[in-house]
Chains A and B, each alone.
Chain A
């Protein structure tokens, strides 16, 4: 990733309905949206932006299965090979007693694995600061952003026209 700063032209909307209409408008006009920021997940936005479904949950399944196997096989190895002890007159290999820990480790592996994967995909981690366009997009504003680095004035004007047509509350440019 280049550390070069970009000029971003962005518009803020007050409501998700306006945002969805604006995205439809942009699609109809053939304007390519660089990024959309919303304070919460907006239903129906992903298909409009042409995103395919996230595959994060598939990794979740894989991590979960890994947890299941780790827990079950580890306990089996410990209690039948490494350090066999009789508990309460039960056989060394006591599957029902292994189930609760197997369940816990399945959940743990799936949860932690998905969080770590998500952080890696997003380039997040300790010490990383992500520049934000506007603090209010984590609160109550819905934002459509365009990359206008080295763009011609006519293109920028077209985008500004798009924002005023679709009812954007504010239009700003920021170099981040």
Chain B
């Protein structure tokens, strides 16, 4: 079967989960504090996470194409379909931009003009951390990503219909890929600073963009492995073998280590340097969010390291799917711990200034316990579901976004044959063989 079709059953399940996600978001919204911090952090968290996966799959495709790799050709339609999620991603992020410009939430400390005027650190950063940059940066950069994703997808689809032995389409894709690599590298850093790092507005880390990008990369690989296993179970992608799975597993393993390397480099330099304005980020997370902080390492380093280290585990569908689900959830968790503690502090800080009027829920208690204290980070933060750990509403919201993501991907997959039949590297991919000792591939 080379033509993917969404069955009615799949559609029902996906729409069911989307409905669940929407319901969870509505419940979160109405049970929230006056700034709807929990709602907006959940929305931002999932939008950024899934948009990043779409970006990274385009990056992966571009990197492989530029490197003249051939093994991935049989699964390149999947990453093309992933990259098409950049279009809904642009809409999702546009909502964040509108809400930020319209001051509908209080995620970003630097949007408060009176605060910025009295704060030398934020004032110094206001050349970049301002609404114009936030709006223009998000829309223009994501617009460029969408352009590249669209262009490469169109060329690839056209290659199927009109491709010939001159491989003119592939040459063009290669040019777009090579152009996209530096653009993605630099522009993703800029939006990561704007979307995520600026939540902790006083803090910065030069490694942060890499570390976040690695997180997206691993999540993209993990979700690819799960999707391929599912589709093979449904009778699609029969030419994709254990050999391809093995290579995907190597990427999952290697980039889990890479993520850990970046995470640790960032942590250790800040820990060793011991500069207060830098350590505050980790101090806050280690003291008040130990489950998030250490769980992050457990899910994203310890688990994949020991599960995926052996050669043969990377060739078993069951083990790979298990490891991928753990790691995918782990990187979602990673983004959770990047976003939530900072946004919670910002909201509490803002609520003190608003005198807590109309506020309800935990944030109010927390604010009430700390009258007049602006340095809330110095104090123990009480447990609050949805901030200290992801609650059921967060999981529901994530499932909703995941269903949306999968629906968009499946919808794109159903628009073209799964095998790119005129791709110059198709033969190489069909005969891909990596395991020296391996038996015939299945």
- Residue numbers of A with Cβ under 8 A of B are 41, 43-44, 46-47, 51, 53-54, 57, 61, 88-90, 96-97, 99-100
Contacting residue for A88 out of B274, B435, B436, CB 8 A: B274
User: B267 to A43, Cβ gap below 8 A?
Assistant: no
Contacts of A54 in B (CB 8 A): 437
A-facing residues in B232-280 (Cβ within 8 Å) = 264, 267-268, 271-272, 274
Given A89-B274, A97-B272, A57-B311 contact (CB < 8 Å)? yes
Chain A CB within 10 Å — which of B311, B433, B436, B438 has the most? B436
Contacting residue for A99 out of B268, B433, B436, B438, CB 8 A: B268
What 4 A-B pairs come out closest when comparing CB atoms?
A: A46-B437, A96-B268, A53-B437, A43-B433
Q: Which residue of B lies closest to A41 (CB)?
A: B436
CB of A41 to closest CB in B, whole Å: 5
Given A96-B271, A97-B268, A97-B272, A47-B439 contact (CB < 8 Å)? yes
- Residue numbers of B with Cβ under 8 A of A are 264, 267-268, 271-272, 274, 309, 311, 433, 435-439
Contacts of A61 in B (CB 8 A): 309
Given A43-B433, A47-B437, A88-B272, A99-B264 contact (CB < 8 Å)? yes
**Alpha-carbon gap, A90 to B311, bound state (A):** 40
Given A57-B311, A61-B309, A89-B274, A44-B438 contact (CB < 8 Å)? yes
Query: How many A-B Cβ pairs are below 8 Å?
Result: 32
User: B437 to A96, Cβ gap below 8 A?
Assistant: no
Q: Which residue of B lies closest to A47 (CB)?
A: B439
At the interface, is chain B mostly helix, strand, loop or mixed? loop
**Alpha-carbon gap, A167 to B163, bound state (A):** 39
Q: Which residue of B lies closest to A97 (CB)?
A: B272
CB of B438 to closest CB in A, whole Å: 7
Other A-B contacts than A46-B436, A54-B437, A61-B309, 5 sampled, CB-CB below 8 A, are A43-B433, A43-B435, A90-B272, A96-B268, A99-B264
CB of B154 to closest CB in A, whole Å: 37
Q: Which residue of B lies closest to A52 (CB)?
A: B437
CB of A19 to closest CB in B, whole Å: 15
Contacts of B264 in A (CB 8 A): 96, 99
User: B274 to A43, Cβ gap below 8 A?
Assistant: no
Contacting residue for B436 out of A43, A97, A100, CB 8 A: A43
Contacts of A44 in B (CB 8 A): 433, 438
What are 30 A-B pairs with beta-carbon distances under 8 A? A41-B436, A43-B435, A43-B436, A43-B438, A44-B433, A44-B438, A46-B436, A46-B437, A47-B437, A47-B438, A47-B439, A51-B437, A53-B437, A54-B437, A57-B311, A61-B309, A88-B272, A88-B274, A90-B272, A90-B274, A96-B264, A96-B267, A96-B268, A96-B271, A96-B272, A97-B268, A97-B272, A99-B264, A99-B268, A100-B268
